[in-house]
Amino acid sequence: MFNQTDIPSHLSSLLSAGQRDYDLLVIGGGSGGLACAKEAAQLGRKVAVVDYVEPSPQGTRWGLGGTCVNVGCIPKKLMHQAALLGGLIRDAPHYGWEVAQPVPHDWRKMAEAVQNHVKSLNWGHRVQLQDRKVKYFNIKASFVDEHTVCGVAKGGKEILLSADHIIIATGGRPRYPTHIEGALEYGITSDDIFWLKESPGKTLVVGASYVALECAGFLTGIGLDTTVMIRSIPLRGFDQQMSSMVIEHMASHGTRFLRGCAPSRVRRLPDGHLQVTWEDHTTGKEDTGTFDTVLWAIGRVPDTRSLNLEKAGVDTSPDTQKILVDSREGTSVPHIYAIGDVVEGRPELTPTAIMAGRLLVQRLFGGSSDLMDYDNVPTTVFTPLEYGCVGLSEEEAVARHGQEHVEVYHAHYKPLEFTVAGRDASQCYVKMVCLREPPQLVLGLHFLGPNAGEVTQGFALGIKCGASYAQVMRTVGIHPTCSEEVVKLRISKRSGLDPTVTGC
């Protein structure tokens, strides 16, 4: 690593004189980092972005844009859409379309189309930076001191960059269970699944995160034999009633679940298949299974290890290694900031990183004082039956306000589109968590059903603005939609009445 004697004399004199290369240096070219860079450039500042993707243990690499664009939201939603189309094709004969069943799915064709779209987004980000005169460096950056980072370009040339302000937006990477024999050698993660050229075949997904369930959902949906191994509870941090219903729906539509199990070994058999050994914590017995692919989805770790944060004096959590920040996204060093998944205690969501980044830059260079509000951030889990939520879970509301002060309105409903095709709607469910005292402030909304993201986004505005149950009930629904079920929630859990919606 560099020390002062490593710095060329002409740069050393500039740095010591306080003259720096940029007004803002952003480390990380994901959604949050790029939002910061573009916002600062628009405000007339001299900006640079450094970004480098360390290949996954399986050798997968990608371009500019971060996790969301390359190995997250975008390819995930497109493969989710591919799976949904499979369901619609099965529905089609009920609506008069003569479609020969079953219709085979071509992984290679889907993957190529998805990957081509991702590459177009990579190129688009490069062009946007160029248009805004943001300097882009494809280098792995690490701190030399609190104003300077260094990196090595492709040709081996060492580059030093200095800035008045630095924003760290390096995000995270999937966690590997390195204590499990064969995990690293034979397993893949979400860093790899979207870039596979050939079908993963029979797949074991290990984990209970939203990443695990989303991947298992679309793999099952395109016709692959898929098993999910869950050690403890699914969708930790989400409403547990809703989480259970997500699992119920997936299980009833072909995804197998191994509950209370943990893998202990993965080895490759002579025929190329993977043999996984696991322990069933319920029975205490050991069991094995054979798969084509093992996908680890057991959480993520912040991408901070190579940044040399101690050289700059940036504090991190001793438990998670995430960067500690205040309400202004400031680290322990006054001019160094951090946003997004790399930060302790922040939602690991693309839109929050983008908004936090823009607001931060507007405070730094635009005279603003607006802070990011991390309350009532909506999100959706893109499982086969989508789960959208905003605000508090039922458990959180009860813990915060007490059972006697919380009222939950709920309904089981059947989407109109499910009727003709005879689809099972057992898990289509919506609940609104409110304060019991009038006008009954809405604390949280939870929606399980088709297009949950679209439904939740709309109601999120009302909840952000402090909507009450009374106001929601005075909102006219759009008929016939699934969204209107939210404004028709009349039955409370406390009443004990059947919440099943009847009629149209």
Query: Which residues belong to the annotated binding site?
Result: 77, 207-214, 299, 341
Binding residues for FAD: 77, 341
Q: How far is 312 from 167, CA to CA, in rounded Å?
A: 12
Q: Which of 80, 335, 410, 479 is catalytic?
A: 479
Q: Which two tokens stand for residue 264?
A: 């202990």
Q: Which two tokens stand for residue 249?
A: 């729906």
Residue 285 burial by Cβ neighbours in a 10 Å radius (0-12, 13-18, 19+): exposed
What is the distance, to the nearest Å, from the Cα of residue 214 to the centroid of all Cα atoms in its chain? 10
273 is catalytic: no
Q: Which two tokens stand for residue 217?
A: 């959902």
CA-angle at 234, arms to 228 and 238, nearest 5°: 145
Contacts 24+ apart (CB under 8 A), 178-182: 180/263, 180/264, 180/265, 180/266, 181/264, 181/265, 181/266, 181/267, 182/265, 182/266, 182/267, 182/268, 182/274
Binding residues for NAD(+): 207-214, 299
Positive or negative torsion for Cα 193, 198, 199, 204: negative
Quote the crossing angle between the two packed helices 73-91 and 107-131, to the nearest 10°: 140
Residues 6 or more apart whose CB falls under 8 angstroms from that of 423 comprise 91, 415, 417
Nearest to 49 by CA among 162, 147, 137, 121: 137
Q: Are 174 and 297 in contact (CB under 8 A)?
A: yes
Q: How far is 223 from 83, CA to CA, in rounded Å?
A: 8
Contacts 24+ apart (CB under 8 A), 357-361: 357/32, 357/33, 357/35, 357/36, 357/39, 357/167, 357/169, 358/35, 358/36, 358/39, 360/36, 360/167, 360/328, 360/329, 361/24, 361/36, 361/39, 361/40, 361/43, 361/167
148: left (phi over 0), alpha (psi -120 to 50) or beta: beta
Active-site amino acid positions: 479
